[in-house]
Amino acid sequence: MKEKLDITKLYRGMKVKYSFPKNGYEGDRKMCEKYLKKNKVYKIEHFDIHGWSTTVYLEGVYAEVDNGNVSFRLAPFNSISFSEVKSRKTKGKK
């Protein structure tokens, strides 16, 4: 069973999977639908913990911003859409 992210254990470079496309508000779902692929693994570039939600920014995932000049910035996503990717330990390797 996939578990949602535990925000108390987030760190830069953590691997997460876009596992829950139906979670979040409509705007959250639209952002994910536009920029992410279901079940794909991403790395967290950075994150912001707020009172009611946590925003994650993923390495290499940019959104277009039109503020008079078209530019790109890391796209924000609600952490509720992701599960943690557990690292697999290889037997006999240190």
DSSP string, 64-76: EEESSSEEEEEEE
pLDDT digits 0-9 by tens, 11-49: 999 999 999 999 999 999 999 999 999 999 999 999 999
pLDDT at 69 over 80: no
Q: What is the pTM of this model?
A: 0.83
pLDDT, position 2:
72
pLDDT, position 3:
79
How many CB atoms within 10 Å of residue 91? 4
**Element holding 33 (H helix, E strand):** helix 26-35
Q: Identify the structural domains of the chain with CATH numbers, from first to last.
A: 7-84 (2.30.30)
